[in-house]
Chain A
């Protein structure tokens, strides 16, 4: 199929529709407003629901209701707006509701800036809402990967009955790249039944109840243990990562999203200087591919692990967990909308190698 030039935000909206999503609720915020704009135009054309909510809080609760009613549903926002969604995300996890949440990250904290950043990593991977819960979090690094992963995001959400987050930085949302639509579109009619959904009893079955309240402590503990077991299955089955030139590398960059691309450019610079550098890129940042990272770190050739982020250092905690002390881990990052340059990243590697 011929390649088409797409803007990231519009591509993710179109990819959602192609993944069988027929329901979108959202609120404008830069740098993701092209997503609701695209949905407002295209959802009605496929008989879907688009609704601009009065707030991010309302949007995620509309997602809760629609998901509970059996719909394949999505919302999107950017950092401050995603903060507002945390309550609803926690409730969705508690009530075991599927759904896809897109975060096109900008600089923070607070209003921060509208430029690209990765300061929401902790919020996405550790849970910004209350209680013991997890999200599957995809962190694509280019627009092709965004659209390739979208269908899987909805499928995993349905399979595990939990929200899935697409964690993008504003760079990927705002830039344009040529992409291919590789997968055939999914028809909502072909999706698996959701017998648990509240679609009306037809007075033929007991009522379905969507709920995250377990007032009895024993019952709440059992509920939490059951969620824990589900998350364990996700950890076992859903880790995704990519490696580039890590075999026999002297230095390994670890980065996700846009910084992974910068890291590859930095590796190119180092190669010209006679240093073999590779990139380890988690595609899921939860579950985090700890073991795979540990494996590449164990190689005798590896002298340094350098984490690159558009933050002041968040994923580096996971890198340290994965490397687990077998090699030194260092960090290079810029925050607040400033993007590290390949030269800065390469220099960080040189410093880590003591050169």
Chain B
């Protein structure tokens, strides 16, 4: 019998704790596949965040460090400066990266730190129970914005990909999503490109992945995918925001 699909070597056999319909599982798989295909699992060190993906260190089949909330890019910097020939990535959510960790991610990008960041943006704090995130849409309900995010009170969502793309140190920045097979394939290509550029020593790379949180959005997994497509993409447009290889073409 031919094997047409199997678990990536980049993942351990630990069962994940993610909720049904959450897209973290897909994104984990894409990162793991990429590391496996590039043949770098044995020379990769990942950095897990605080948030829903806090246990990522149990799921990726490579050396891992668990960082304090928001500090993954600083931890990754420490690793990469000591081990410049290794592959180093951070895997962070929007609370971790776009709120408490904005300083660390901005300066890692500014320095052109030769690491890859997988930024999973689901517009909410998932782990702590659905509080408002800096990426929560205006009008979107959260447990700390029970009437919906009020722009006059809490501002508008922060667009990290656009922001970091202004920095010279950023080599590749793309926003993708995983709401359809076609989008999953695009996300895979983006993630792979980011790691390839890291292997070439080109500088900071980040792939922002728009992700669902059916549990805290109060939607079924299918409805959550629809909600993302209809509501998040207009605020967080998909696309390549920075590509230093384009200049050379």
Contacts and interface: CB of A to CB of B under 8 A. Distances in A.
Interface-central residue, B12, B42, B78, B103, by most chain A CB under 10 Å: B78
Interface string A203-215: 1100111111100
A212 B66 contact: yes
Contacts of A23: 78, 81-82
Interface string A37-64: 0000000000001010111011101111
A29 interface: no
B229 interface: no
A23 B188 CA distance: 35
A209 B66 contact: yes
Interface string B61-83: 11111111001001111111111
Contacts of A148: none
A28 B104 CA distance: 17
Interface in B65-107: 65-68, 71, 74-83, 86, 103-104, 106-107
Contacts of A54: 103-104, 106-107
A72 to B, nearest CB: 10
Interface of A: 23, 25, 49, 51, 53-55, 57-59, 61-71, 73, 87-88, 91, 95, 198-204, 207-213
Nearest to B42: A203
A198 B65 contact: yes
A61 B65 contact: no
B78 A198 contact: no
B63 A207 contact: yes
Closest 6 interchain pairs by CB? Answer: A65-B78, A61-B74, A66-B78, A198-B63, A65-B75, A203-B42
Contact of A61 (B54, B57, B63, B67): B67
Interface string B48-59: 000000110110
A200 B45 contact: yes
B204 to A, nearest CB: 14
A269 B79 CA distance: 54
B75 A64 contact: yes
